[in-house]
Amino acid sequence: MEGDPRVIRVVLQDRWAPPRAKGLLDVDPRVRTLLKILLSYPEVRHVLPREVSLDPDAQPNVIETVGKFIGRQRWLVKRVDIN
């Protein structure tokens, strides 16, 4: 694989944003379930508190699907930015 990874940046609801909470790595059961789902995508390289990194050659439809899925978690997310 060559090139820079694709990144989905997440703007979290205040309750979930670091340093108050651990964002996408929080221990809340709902966040843990979301993390498990994200990591089930083979294109996902790693997850940080405010971003998801995907392989550089990840298909645009996969990136869009993951971004939309994260964005539907309104209890956790304010906005999703795909780079």
Quick check: is 1 in a domain?
no
- The pTM of the whole model exceeds 0.85: yes
The total domain count for the chain is 1
The percent of residues in the chain predicted with pLDDT above 90, rounded, is 88
Transcribe 14-80 into DSSP letters: GGGSTTTS-GGG--SHHHHHHHHHHHTSTTEEEEETTEEEE-TT--HHHHHHHHHHHHT-TTTEEEE
User: Which of 21, 27, 65, 14 shows the shortest CA–CA distance to 43?
Assistant: 65
- Residue 2: predicted pLDDT: 65
- Residue 68: predicted pLDDT: 97
Quick check: is 38 in a domain?
yes
54, 5 Cβ separation under 8 angstroms: yes
User: Is the bond leading into 42 cis (omega within 30 degrees of zero)?
Assistant: no
pLDDT in tens, the chain (83 residues): 467 889 999 999 999 998 889 999 999 999 999 999 999 999 999 999 999 999 999 999 999 999 999 999 999 999 999 98
Domain, as residue range, for 23? 6-82
